[in-house]
Structure 1
Amino acid sequence: MNQLAIAALSISVIVVSIFWYIRKPTSKAPPLPPGPLGLPIVGYLPFLNQNLLVQFSGLAQKYGPIVKLRVGNKLWVVIASPSLAKEVVRDHDLVFSNRDVPIAAQVVSFGENDMAWSPNNSGWRKMRKVFVHDVLSNINLDGSYNLRKDIVRKTIIDVYSTKIEKPIEMGELIGRCILNIILNLLWGGTIEGDEGERVITEFKALLPKLVGLLGKPNISDFFPILSGLDIQGVKKDMEIILQSYDRILDVAIAIGKKKLSENVIDQGRKDFLQILLELKENDEDTNRSITSKQLKGMLMDIVVAGTDTQSTTVEWAMAELMNNPEIMVKVQQELSSVIGINNMVEESHAPKLQYLRAVIKETLRLHPAVPLLLTRFPTKDSTIGGYSIPKNTTVFINACSIQRDPSIWHNPLKFKPERFLDTEEKMDFSGNTFSYIPFGSGRRLCPGTPLAERMMVHLLASLLHSFEWKLPKGETLDMSEKFGIGLKKNTPLFVIPSLRLSNLDLYT
């Protein structure tokens, strides 16, 4: 009887346990975001078009502000709302702080040894700290002002001397000026004279090819198993470009090391290369010393990101001003009031040029230099907006769509700088307002923003204060966009300058 009782009790326990287990509510994983169906193996890849911005906007209208796409072996998720962007770059910033690095970027970053593409590890944190606190410190930026001023001044003199009443390709003029500034900041005290001019010319010729390869769709990125074949030759082409850059970097580094050993500091200031070389050779402080690859990767970041994004933004700003002459009048009235007709622009004028700064902010709202920012790559499974985002998903934040969203911005396609003057919300480049993130946000916020802001304000103000600008006779202004890793004008902007200041000594 005891055995029967024990058996009966055991059976009862088992039955109750089974019943409880069946009735127990199971925790169900959140679903993947909605999105279009694709084909077997290739997914949505055959349906992608050249302008992902337009396509992503259309998918967001159909499926909502978070959309998934299977592209080859990759899962893409595109985010197009401030609240969801905040979840990625602020609430779960650590999880989403890595990149999905395309093969072209792996090459140009010296194997992910730079600030843009490196994973969030101790090496990346060291590089960023060195760049922000050592290279771009306020002391260094102030100390290099005269160099930036001189190059902008030479650009104004060149326009006055050779280009008055003649059509100028504005992107060419701006791009060369900014590249000249960047390279002189990097090693202005290192590579000088004819050699320095040759380096600028070589860098300028290679830069568009490099940026084009970074934005080129590559089958090896969609199907990593095929990467060794390099079917489109993207890796090979980027390696050829990098060889040319690497040769220049080696020459600059060798000269810089020699000057460092001889304790030579040109014009009483250190260029960026000298600062980085000192840190590289500083083996005692492991928190600040950097490797040879990191040194080259940081130099490439400064050249590529600094030149391309700034020149694109200033060209767009000029195009918008040509397209909105009443805004051009307001800007030049502010310049005359703040600077005076018998003075040249100084960086110290910038805080008082509120309308001009609003023009640049509005330009970056409508035409963000990197419209999809750089991708995020979660290190573990996560949940965003109630949807599951698996580990190693490629996450795009569509800054362009967010900054043109009619539910956020009134009349969003209209160029209206006043929207940055009339708001109580602090709209700056810090990435804290998630409806306005042209330079990103969170720990991956662009570290070069302080330098970029100084340079763009100074150069644009100098061009607008020194000259009047008009379109060539019979020409119409094309404001269409060309999408790549950046957002450029589809056709170059040609304009004709004429003198604006009566004191000709200001042009010589």
Structure 2
Amino acid sequence: MIIFFLFFIYLLFLLLNNFTDSKFKPSLPPGPTPLPYIGSVISMLQNKPTFRWIHGMMDQMNTKILCIRLGNVHVIAVSDPDIAVEFMKDKDGIFSSRPDTMSSYLASGGYLDTILAPMGDHWKKMRKMLSREILSMARHKWLLKKRTEEDENILRYINNQCNSNHGDTKKLMNVRILAQQYTTNIVRKLIFGSRYFGKGSQDGGPGEEEIEYADSLWTILVYIHAFCVTDYFPWLRWITDFDGHEKIMRNALFTARKYQDPLIDERIQQWKDGVRTEQDDLLDVLITLENTRLTADEIKAQILDLIIGGFDNVSNNIEWAMAEMINEPRIFDKAIRELDFVVGKDRWVQEFDIQNLNYIKSCAKEAFRLHPVAPFNPPHLTTADSTVAGYFIPKGSHVLVSRLGLGRNPDVWDDPLTFNPDRHMIGDKEVMLTDHNLHMFSFGTGRRGCPAVLLGSTMTTMLLARLIQGFTWELPLNESRDNLKENFHDFSKAKPLLALAKPRLANNLYPSS
């Protein structure tokens, strides 16, 4: 009798608890009805690429915030700027950590970096170190000469290609390769003090080492935040490498580290032996930190962080900006007129000119808005139950802010699918490539905002400005002006931008061979 009574009280408690929960606790954001235990994993696997499935679901359900359960994890996707600000700024104390995934664990050497590390003492130490020692304004000025050398090198390379064209000064150039070459070269120069791992190619371009290295970085970027089944069912990793995801990631990391890690080990030993005594690049700075001593493994993880974060966003932006501008001569001509007015034709654009190049920056900003480098920002992890936009967000949720949804949001942008740099020109106000209101996503905001905003903005503006100032660009005769399609599996341009380049300034201004 007592047992029956206790059982009855227990059932009554469950019913009352469910009633009060449903009555007073906010509901989850809308989303597909999950299957028991596995959630929506089957649908995810049947609808690749996953990011297009998620965006399609948001359109189908007419919602700016979506909840998809994968295993026991709630994945929250957001495409509204006000909701995104609530996640990333207003309540970023709860939403600033990172989830534990196979790829991020491997790429960060066990979370020894900054970008992928969860919130905690290590992340605070690394973030503080980056802000004060690596990406500060003082350090930015210290590295000016190295950036300038790479600005000149890309001009030299293109001009040499044009002059080697048997009397015809027009040369068909692969703008994607140019942008990737510039960004990887400049990051290597800032970190290691050298443009190439090897000798480069005879024409001044990257060698086999740099090409293999860049390919490995792109692979890491593709897989580091991909939707992997074993991230939601970790026990599967002991049984199978689902989709070969882990093998691909390990191979790419092996390739990247076989070039950079020996250089780091050698440099550390040089400092220990007293062979090296003066700082010349960022690797020297990381090795000789006094207030924040780093282990060799922490330095290696942070170096990979800096390299990965330093080249993909910029190179993707430049290719798309150039493609859109060449496709619309009116926009290209306006950018040329600004450069001729601000800089002139008797000297090269310099970093001190950037503040006055509002239209050039508007073109870059518009490319960030319309053509993001990735569908989502790096995922945020919810560390406590919370309520956002009136919805319940459970602890342990993975929050994804849609770069695509923000930048192409018709509630924010007029004619959002049209490339229109003028939309960013507001009176005499200086154009900045960041947007802390998250009407678009370029460098993020909040605690997890990109700490390299200054460097990324400088690299983007300088490369775009020098390509436009130094050369005329036109599509080859067989190339259609509507060639602005993006890849289905990512947001890169479906075909690399091939354009005819021709020097437009006096020959004596170009850096010599």
The TM-score with structure 1 as length reference comes to 0.87
C-alpha distance 372-385 of structure 1, shift in aligned 2 (>3 A): same
Q: Is the 8 A contact 1:190 1:255 kept in 2?
A: no
1:182 to 169, 184, 187: 187
Q: Is the 8 A contact 1:151 1:177 kept in 2?
A: yes
C-alpha distance 366-42 of structure 1, shift in aligned 2 (>3 A): same
Q: Is the 8 A contact 2:433 2:442 kept in 1?
A: yes
Q: Which runs of 5+ in 2 are unaligned?
A: 1-15, 163-168, 201-205
Q: Report the alpha carbon displacement of residue 72 of structure 1 after superposing the two structures with TM.
A: 3.6
Q: Secondary structure of 1:270's partner?
A: coil
Distance 1:480 1:47 in 2: 27
Q: Which moved more, 1:386-395 or 1:362-371?
A: 362-371
Q: Which residue of 1 aligns with 2:94?
A: 95
Q: Does 1:264 align with 2:276?
A: yes
Distance 2:230 2:197 in 1: 41
Distance 1:67 1:119 in 2: 24
Distance 1:213 1:434 in 2: 25
C-alpha distance 382-427 of structure 1, shift in aligned 2 (>3 A): farther
What code does the residue aligned with 1:264 have? R
Q: Report the alpha carbon displacement of residue 96 of structure 1 after superposing the two structures with TM.
A: 0.6
Q: Secondary structure of 1:443's partner?
A: coil
Distance 2:355 2:37 in 1: 55
Q: Which residue of 2 aligns with 1:37?
A: 33
Q: Report the alpha carbon displacement of residue 131 of structure 1 after superposing the two structures with TM.
A: 1.1
Q: Deviations over 1:328-355 (max 9, x none)?
A: 0000111111111111121111111111
Q: Report the alpha carbon displacement of residue 143 of structure 1 after superposing the two structures with TM.
A: 1.8
Q: Report the alpha carbon displacement of residue 41 of structure 1 after superposing the two structures with TM.
A: 4.3
Q: Report the alpha carbon displacement of residue 233 of structure 1 after superposing the two structures with TM.
A: 2.6
Q: Is the 8 A contact 1:189 1:270 kept in 2?
A: no
Q: Which residue of 2 aligns with 1:28?
A: 24
Q: Does 1:389 align with 2:426?
A: no
**Superposition pairs for residues 273-288 of structure 1, below 5 Å?**
273-279=283-289, 282=290, 285=291, 288=292
Q: Is the 8 A contact 1:189 1:265 kept in 2?
A: no
2:301 to 297, 302, 320: 297
Q: Does 1:374 align with 2:354?
A: no
Q: Which moved more, 1:234-243 or 1:309-318?
A: 234-243
Distance 2:49 2:333 in 1: 34
Q: Which residue of 1 aligns with 2:315?
A: 311
Q: Which residue of 2 aligns with 1:438?
A: 442
Q: Secondary structure of 1:264's partner?
A: coil
Q: Secondary structure of 2:249's partner?
A: helix
Distance 2:109 2:404 in 1: 29
Q: Deviations over 1:263-287 (max 9, x none)?
A: 6367xx52110000012xx4xx3xx
C-alpha distance 96-25 of structure 1, shift in aligned 2 (>3 A): closer
Q: Which moved more, 1:47-56 or 1:119-128?
A: 47-56
Distance 2:55 2:227 in 1: 19
Q: Which residue of 2 aligns with 1:139?
A: 138
Distance 2:446 2:229 in 1: 30
Q: Which residue of 2 aligns with 1:200?
A: 210
Q: Which residue of 2 aligns with 1:16?
A: none
Q: Which residue of 1 aligns with 2:12?
A: none
Q: Which residue of 2 aligns with 1:3?
A: none
C-alpha distance 423-408 of structure 1, shift in aligned 2 (>3 A): farther
Distance 2:52 2:428 in 1: 31
Distance 2:106 2:470 in 1: 42
Q: Report the alpha carbon displacement of residue 259 of structure 1 after superposing the two structures with TM.
A: 3.7
What code does the residue aligned with 1:56 have? I
2:492 to 488, 491, 498: 488
Q: Which moved more, 1:173-182 or 1:212-221?
A: 212-221
**Superposition pairs for residues 90-169 of structure 1, below 5 Å?**
90-163=89-162, 164-169=169-174
Q: Report the alpha carbon displacement of residue 395 of structure 1 after superposing the two structures with TM.
A: 1.2
Q: Is the 8 A contact 2:188 2:196 kept in 1?
A: no
Q: Does 1:236 align with 2:247?
A: yes
What code does the residue aligned with 1:34 have? P
What code does the residue aligned with 1:171 have? R
Q: Secondary structure of 2:477's partner?
A: coil
Q: How many residue pairs were aligned?
A: 479
Distance 1:401 1:381 in 2: 25
Q: Which residue of 2 aligns with 1:74?
A: 73
Distance 1:430 1:457 in 2: 13
Q: Is the 8 A contact 1:342 1:503 kept in 2?
A: no
What code does the residue aligned with 1:179 have? T
C-alpha distance 216-72 of structure 1, shift in aligned 2 (>3 A): same
Distance 1:264 1:197 in 2: 27
Q: Which residue of 2 aligns with 1:224?
A: 234
Q: Which moved more, 1:344-353 or 1:31-40?
A: 31-40
2:54 to 42, 56, 59: 56
Q: Does 1:83 align with 2:90?
A: no
Q: Is the 8 A contact 1:127 1:294 kept in 2?
A: no
Q: Is the 8 A contact 1:403 1:436 kept in 2?
A: yes
Distance 2:32 2:160 in 1: 57
Q: Report the alpha carbon displacement of residue 427 of structure 1 after superposing the two structures with TM.
A: 6.7
